[in-house]
Structure 1
Amino acid sequence: MSNTTFVNLCEKWAQYAPNKIAITTATESITWLDLAKRIDGLVSTLRYQNVHVGKVVCLSGRSELSLVLRYLACLQYGAVPALVANQPLEQLTAKFDTLYPPTESACVWGGIDSSSNADEYSLHSIDRGEAEQSSSQGSVKDLLAGTPIASIVFTSGSTGQPKAVVHSADHHVASAEGLLEKFRYSSSDTWLLSLPMLHVSGLAIVWRWLVTGGRLRIASGDFASDIAKVTHASLVSTQLKRIVDNGWDTRLKRVLLGAVTSRTN
C-alpha cells in the first residue's frame, strides 16, 4: 500500500495548484502538475524493474533533483526508501544486513560508488547470497512489518556501528507542523535544500515543503547564487557568517540555525 499521507499531499497541490511552481533548480522550474507526472514515470520504472510494494530501496546520491524525485516515487509506489551515502559496495554491506533478511537481494537506486558515472536513475539489484544478519532480531523491515515507513536514515556511527532510524509519514508531518507553528513558511516562500537528505535535517526540509505547498530550491553548489533566490534556509553558523560578512543582498525572511531560529525584518 502506498503512503497515504504523502499521496494526499501531492494530489492536493497537483489538483488545487497545478501550475504553481513546486521546485526550482539552476536550470528549470517544475510545477506541481509536472512534478506529479515525473513521479508517475518513476513509479512505472519501479514496476517495470519488478520492485515489489514494501521492498526496501536504498537511495544514494546528493540532495539533487534526481534524489528528491526518486524519494517521492518510492513513497507514492509504496517502496521503503532508505537514504544512504554514495559509496563503494563493500561499505554498504553492513547497512544491507540491517535492511534486508539474509537471503533477500538488496536494491540500490542511483550510484553505488562515488567515483562512478552510473546513471543516477539506474536500479541495481545486488545478490547477497548467504549474507549474515547483523542483528539476531532480524531486519528493520521484519521488525516493523505492517508499519508504513516513509524513511530510513542511518546514524553517523561515531560511537559504534551506524544504526537505522525509521520514520513514518506521520512522524515527518508532525515534525513539520510543530516547527511551522512558530516558524512561518507559506506557500509563496522558497526553502533551500542545502542539507543532505541522508540526514533527518535534510528530509525535514522536504517534508516542510510538502506540508506547506511552497517552493523547494535545489542547491546548485553556488551558495551566493542560491541564497539570493530563497526566502528560507537551514544553515550552519559559518554559512550565516559568510552572508553577513560579505554583505550579500538576500530575500531571506527566516533562517533555521541548528536548533535556533533567526528572523529578518
Structure 2
Amino acid sequence: MNLFPWQVFADNPQSSQTIALRSSQGDLFTWADVAQKINQTAAFLQQRGITPQSTVAFCAKNSEAILFLYLASLQCGAKIIGLNPAFPQQRIDQFCREYGVDLCLRHEDLANISECPLAKLEEADFLRPATMTLTSGSGGQPKAVLHNMQAHLDNARGVCQLMQFHAMQSWLLSLPLYHVSGQGIVWRWLVCGAQLHFPQTDFYASLLQATHVSLVPTQLQRLLDYLARYPQSEVKTRHILLGGAHIPVALTQAIRTYGITPYSGYGMTEMASTIFAKVSDDKPGVGQALLGREFQLVNDEIWLKGAGLAMGYWKNGEILPLINESGWLQTKDKGLWQNDELVVVGRLDNMFISGGENIQPEEIEKTILQSGLVKQVFVLPKADAEFGARPVALTAFHEQFSERAVEKLRIFLQTHLARFKQPVAYYPLPDLHQGGIKISRKTLADWLLQHIES
C-alpha cells in the first residue's frame, strides 16, 4: 500500500519519535504525533461528508490546525484550496462556487475536533488532483492551479538539493499556506523528514531558531533591523531563500556577515514554487534551472516544463490545459540568458510604449531600489496625450514621503536611467496588500486611475 510521506516517517521506528514540528506555542510534535493529528482531522472531514470526490477549502492564516487540515484533506483523497482570509466574504463565496468547494473551514471550525476512528484509509495516489492554488492575479482575475502531490515533491527535491536541506534541519513556515511559496516549505519538510517550525509571538526570534527560512526582501530588511537592535541574538539560521520581488545586493551582502547564505530565486504557482535559484551574488540573474526543470527562451519569453509542472487550471469541474501544443508552459515573463544564468527582465504584459520606446517597469523599479532610498516601488503607465503613456512611480521611501525625498531620488536617476525611462511623477505607495504576499499591479493601476487621474 502506498503511504503518504507523514505516514512513512510515523511508521518507521527510526523516525517515528523524532521531532517533526514545533508549534506556535513552542510545543514539540513527533512524526507519530503529526500522523495522529492528521488522522484525527481526516476522521473529522469524513464525518462532515468529505470523500475522494470532494473539494475542501480553508480560509485562514497559518496554524497547526490548518496544516493538519491541508494534509488530512489529501489523506482523504480530496482536493484542497486555500483562500486568503483578507478577501471579502462575497469574494470567498464566489470562489467556493466557482471551484466547487463542498466544505469551507476557518480556524474556529477546527477548535474542537474530538478523537474518532477513520472510516476508511485512502491509499496515497501521488498522481491524482490534490491541491488548488490561486495565482497572485497580478494581471487581473486569479486562476486555480491544480497540482498532484508528485509535482510538489519533485519541486521540493530540487530546492533541498541546492540549499543542503536534510532531516537534521528545520524550515520556518514563514509564508502563508494559501500561497504556493508556503506550500513549497511544507513539501520540502515532507521530502526530507525534517522539522517544520511555526513562528511564535516574536517572529524574528523564531526565525533565528530555524536553519532554513523563506523570505521576501522586505522581511529580510526587517530581519537585519532586528539583528542590529538585538546584537546578542543566537543565530541558528544558515540559509535564506529569497523571492517574490527584486532583491537588492546590499541586503544579501549584509546578511552574510551573520554567517547566513542567501539564495535568489524565481518561481511561479504553475511550477509549484521555486524553478531557478542560486547563491546570491552581485549579478542580476537567478542562476540555473533546479533539478528536473527544463526551460527555453522563445522570442525572449521564458518557457518551462518538468519538475513541479501543474496538471492544469481547474474551472467549472474541468482541468483546462496550461501548456501549449509543444508541451511547454509559456510564462509571459521576459528573460535573457546572460553570464551562464537566467535574468528575469519582467512581465511581457507589463511592458508599455512611451513615445515609440519600449518601457519595462521592472527595469526602472530595480534601478530605483539600487538608490538605497526606497523600500518598495511600482512603476505604472499614466496616459499622456503626446507620448501615449509616461512612467510614474508609486513609492515607499525609507524616510517619510516628501518632495525632498523625491528630489533625492530624481537626482540619483538622472545618472542611472535614460531620460525617457525616468518617472514623470511620484506618489506614495498605497497599502493595498489585503494580507497577501504580492500587491496586484492591476489593483494599483485601478487605484492610480481613481485617485490621481480622475
TM-score after normalising by structure 2: 0.47
Query: Which residue of the partner structure matches residue 162 of structure 2?
Result: 182
Letter in 1 for 2:68: L
- Alpha-carbon shift at residue 186 of structure 1 (Å): 1.0
Equivalent residues of 1:22, 1:30 under 8 A apart: yes
Residue 8 of structure 2 is matched in structure 1 by 12
User: Is contact 2:50–2:76 with CA below 8 Å preserved after alignment?
Assistant: no
Aligned equivalent of 1:77: 76
Which residue number corresponds to residue 46 of structure 2?
A: 47
- Is residue 65 from structure 1 mapped to residue 61 from structure 2 by the alignment? no
Q: 1:203 aligns with which of 183, 186, 189?
A: 183
Q: 2: CA distance between counterparts of 1:68 and 1:52?
A: 19
| Alpha-carbon shift at residue 42 of structure 1 (Å) | 1.0
The aligned amino acid for 2:238 is K
CA distance in 2, matches of 1:161, 1:232: 33
Q: How far 1:159 sits from its partner (Å)? A: 1.9
- Secondary structure of the 1:53 match is coil
> Aligned to 2:81, what secondary structure does the other structure show?
strand
**Deviation at 1:221?**
4.4
Counterparts of 2:31 and 2:133, CA distance in 1: 26
C-alpha contact 1:21 1:32 (8 A) present in aligned 2: yes
Contact 2:9 2:31 in 1 (8 A): yes
**Normalising to structure 1: TM-score of the pair?**
0.78
Structure 2 unmatched runs, 5+: 114-126, 244-264, 266-276, 281-454
Relative to total residues, which structure has the larger strand share, 1 or 2?
2
Question: Conserved in 1, the CA contact under 8 Å of 2:166 and 2:194?
Answer: yes
Match of 1:149 among 110, 129, 135: 129
Amino acid at match of 1:14: A
Aligned residues: 226
C-alpha RMSD of the superposition: 2.2
Aligned residue runs from structure 1 range 1-265, under 5 A: 7-16=3-12, 17-25=15-23, 26-86=25-85, 87-100=87-100, 106-111=102-107, 118-121=108-111, 148-245=128-225, 246=228, 247=231, 248-258=233-243, 259=265, 260-262=277-279
User: Quick check: which has more Rg, 1 or 2?
Assistant: 2
Where 1:119 maps in the other structure, the secondary structure is: helix
Deviates most, 244-253 or 38-47:
244-253
Give ranges in structure 1 of 5+ residues lacking alignment.
112-117, 124-146
**CA distance in 2: counterparts of 1:244 and 1:51, whole angstroms:** 45
> Per chain length, whose mean CA-contact separation is higher, i.e. which structure has more relative contact order (CA < 8 Å, sep 6+)?
1
Cα distance, 1:21 vs structure 2: 0.6
